[in-house]
């Protein structure tokens, strides 16, 4: 009996030890001064900038590293390691010569040199390193990039060179009018060769294995829990960095985020679903424009009903038959904008007049009567009375709301139409779209660089992302011109792209729905964070500030 009791006691002791040993110990919380407290809905998948391909990784790569240029609030591109005013562009637009500042340093005191850029870019395009963005952004643009990525040439053959420590030359295969955006994108960062080779497989896995050259450096990173950044005093422009630190907590649940904001543990939270409606009268509520546009796609190459979808009246009927404002109200409940275009507003301006790219098109405006007229014509031309279309969507709450809404709207406005909804997981949805095995679906696009071609290029015949089977010779010609011969003629190029968008809309290649807005609650002392950048990373933490009105003591 005594023995058994002893055993029990021992068991309890072991358990207690185990229990107390496993709380998150407080390595964090050692930050003073102006600290911004925010949340993230996911951990950072990687801190190796060339592998970054999601919002979170790219955002924090931009925060701790610095490339040639940097994104300032509202998408302005400013000098980074390279002095922007001194950059030389050759007459044919194919050679860029960047002059680097001489006072830029890595965290360990090494100077940031042109060789670091050469190594960083070569490392990115090296197929062994598996960088998705390097291929996406460099191939076909930077000299030899595509061949290197396909393994035909060595990474050293990339069209970049460093004639001296502070001069970095990039050779392009063709002019890239938006190359400034590239120079500010985290895939195009310098890399410290010695440090990376020294770290080997541990590189970028923990704060100690990261070498920063940007406004902040990482001090703590606990998987799926939290990470902390403090101001990097060795950064060349440290005196213009306002925040002393940034503390980020991983919180996946929207209500938990809001609770933490309400008790003062967070300075800013994104809102979702019902939270938007509940908080609209809160003085701390903000609604911010994004440059993501959403649309309904029609697959013209669908095996079963492709020939119907190829009829322009058929598509126009579908495109005009649903209420876009109601769609936003039902699915998002916020003040996103219903739109009739697919290149976003507030994104790019005319190079001479400064006017917005969007001049307002209404060919695809919601109009039930017009939709019914098109539907009637389509029925006559294609000789059908009844029609069943399948509508592909995801399996999240939001995606289900979307498919149910579209089913109700389209079925009640277009006589004889039946919509079969098909809700599948996100991964499967992408695969079905890629195989073009769908009939109708909703999808969207956000730009990676500041140029309308990012959107316009989507629907070029047999384009990599053209999963709607759209094809129009005039459209293709305009896109080719914008990507080629017009590269050095900004006004004509701009207008060619406007023309291309018009063609696609008049043929209802897709059915635009909305340009998204994001809703947040933000304390009034958080400054320079009330707009999203129109491309690239959402925020530029270098410029964010906290100004609390502290009482002046006499």
Q: Which spans of this chain sit near other proteins (rule: CB under 8 A)?
A: 4, 15, 18-20, 22-24, 26, 28-29, 43, 45-46, 48, 51, 53, 127-128, 130, 132, 135-136, 149-150, 201, 204-205, 222-226, 249-253, 255-256, 259-260, 262-263, 265, 424-428, 430-431, 433-434, 443, 445-446, 464-465, 467
- Residue 55 C-beta-side C-alpha neighbours within 13 Å: 10
Among candidate residues 5, 506, 40, the one with its CA nearest the CA of residue 252: 40
Residue 293, H or E segment: strand 285-298
Query: From CA 483, how far away is CA 176, in angstroms rounded?
Result: 8
CB of 488 to other proteins, least distance (A): 27
Nearer to other proteins, 131 or 302 (CB): 131
Strand positions, DSSP E, 128-187 = 160-164, 167-171
CB of 317 to other proteins, least distance (A): 27
Nearer to other proteins, 135 or 181 (CB): 135
Q: Which two tokens stand for residue 315?
A: 């598509």
Nearer to other proteins, 91 or 128 (CB): 128
* DSSP assignments along 38-52, one per residue: EEESS--S---TTT-
Angle at 171 between CA 165 and CA 174, to 5 degrees: 160
Nearer to other proteins, 236 or 535 (CB): 535
Nearer to other proteins, 126 or 413 (CB): 126
CB of 446 to other proteins, least distance (A): 8
CB of 266 to other proteins, least distance (A): 10
Q: Where are the alpha helices (DSSP H) in 310-425?
A: 312-320, 324-331, 368-382, 397-413
Distances (CA, A) of 2 to 5, 9, 15, 525: 5, 11, 20, 64
CB of 533 to other proteins, least distance (A): 18
Strand-pairing partners, residue 77, are 71
CB crowding 452-487: b at 16 or more within 10 Å, else e: bbbbbbbbbeeeeebbbbbbbeebbebbebbbeebb
Strand-pairing partners, residue 248, are 38, 227
CB of 258 to other proteins, least distance (A): 9
Nearer to other proteins, 19 or 552 (CB): 19
CB of 181 to other proteins, least distance (A): 16
Nearer to other proteins, 49 or 215 (CB): 49
Nearer to other proteins, 311 or 466 (CB): 466
CB of 28 to other proteins, least distance (A): 7
Q: Where are the alpha helices (DSSP H) in 414-528?
A: 426-434, 453-456, 473-483, 490-506
CB–CB of 393/422 below 8 Å?
Answer: yes
Query: From CA 124, how far away is CA 134, in angstroms rounded?
Result: 6
Nearer to other proteins, 22 or 552 (CB): 22
Query: From CA 312, how far away is CA 508, in angstroms rounded?
Result: 7
Nearer to other proteins, 136 or 525 (CB): 136
CB of 464 to other proteins, least distance (A): 6
CB of 297 to other proteins, least distance (A): 11
């Amino acid at each position: 009996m005594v023995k058994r009791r002893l055993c029990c006691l021992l068991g309890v002791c072991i358990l207690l030890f185990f229990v107390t040993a496993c709380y998150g110990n407080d390595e964090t919380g050692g930050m003073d001064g102006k600290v911004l407290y925010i949340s993230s809905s996911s951990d950072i998948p990687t801190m190796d900038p060339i592998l970054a391909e999601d919002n979170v990784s790219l955002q924090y790569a931009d925060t701790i590293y610095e490339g040639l240029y940097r994104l300032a609030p509202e998408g302005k591109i400013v000098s980074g390691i390279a002095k922007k005013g001194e950059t030389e562009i050759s007459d044919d637009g194919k050679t860029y010569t960047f002059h680097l500042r001489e006072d830029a340093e890595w965290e360990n005191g090494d100077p940031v040199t042109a060789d670091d850029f050469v190594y960083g870019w070569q490392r990115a395009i090296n197929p062994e390193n598996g960088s998705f963005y390097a291929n996406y952004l460099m191939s076909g643009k930077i000299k030899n990039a595509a061949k290197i990525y396909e393994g035909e040439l060595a990474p050293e053959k990339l069209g970049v060179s460093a004639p001296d420590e502070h001069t970095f030359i990039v050779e392009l295969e063709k002019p890239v009018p938006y190359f400034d955006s590239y120079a500010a994108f985290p895939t195009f960062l310098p890399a410290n060769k010695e440090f990376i080779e020294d770290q080997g497989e541990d590189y970028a896995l923990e704060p100690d294995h990261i070498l920063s050259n940007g406004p902040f450096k990482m001090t703590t990173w606990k998987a799926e829990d939290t990470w902390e950044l403090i101001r990097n005093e060795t950064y060349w422009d440290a005196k213009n960095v306002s925040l002393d630190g940034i503390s980020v907590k991983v919180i996946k649940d929207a209500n938990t985020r809001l609770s933490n904001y309400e008790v003062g543990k967070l300075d800013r939270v994104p809102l979702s679903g019902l939270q938007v409606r509940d908080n609209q009268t809160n003085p701390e509520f903000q609604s911010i424009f994004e440059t993501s546009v959403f649309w309904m796609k029609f697959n013209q190459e669908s095996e079963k009903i492709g020939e119907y979808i190829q009829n322009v009246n058929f598509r126009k009927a579908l495109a005009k038959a649903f209420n876009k404002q109601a769609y936003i109200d039902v699915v998002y409940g916020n003040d996103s904008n219903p739109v009739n275009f697919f290149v976003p507003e507030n994104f790019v301006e005319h190079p001479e007049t400064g006017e917005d790219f969007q001049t307002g098109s209404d060919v695809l405006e919601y109009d039930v009567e017009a939709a019914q007229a098109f539907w009637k014509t389509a029925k006559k031309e294609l000789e059908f009375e009844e029609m069943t279309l399948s509508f592909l969507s995801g399996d999240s709450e939001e995606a289900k709301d979307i498919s149910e809404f579209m089913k109700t709207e389209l079925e009640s406005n277009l006589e004889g139409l039946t919509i079969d909804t098909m809700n599948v997981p996100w991964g499967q949805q992408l695969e079905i779209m890629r195989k073009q095995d769908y009939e109708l679906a909703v999808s969207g696009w956000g730009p990676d660089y500041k140029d309308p071609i990012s959107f316009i290029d989507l629907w070029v015949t047999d384009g990599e992302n053209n999963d709607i089977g759209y094809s129009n010779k005039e459209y293709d010609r305009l896109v080719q011109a914008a990507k080629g011969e017009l590269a050095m003629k900004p006004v004509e190029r701009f207008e060619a792209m406007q023309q291309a968008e018009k063609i696609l809309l008049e043929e209802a290649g897709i059915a635009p729905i909305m340009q998204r807005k994001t809703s947040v609650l933000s304390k009034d002392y958080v400054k320079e964070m009330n707009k999203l950048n129109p491309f690239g990373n959402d925020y530029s933490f270098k410029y964010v500030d906290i100004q609390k009105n502290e009482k002046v003591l006499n």
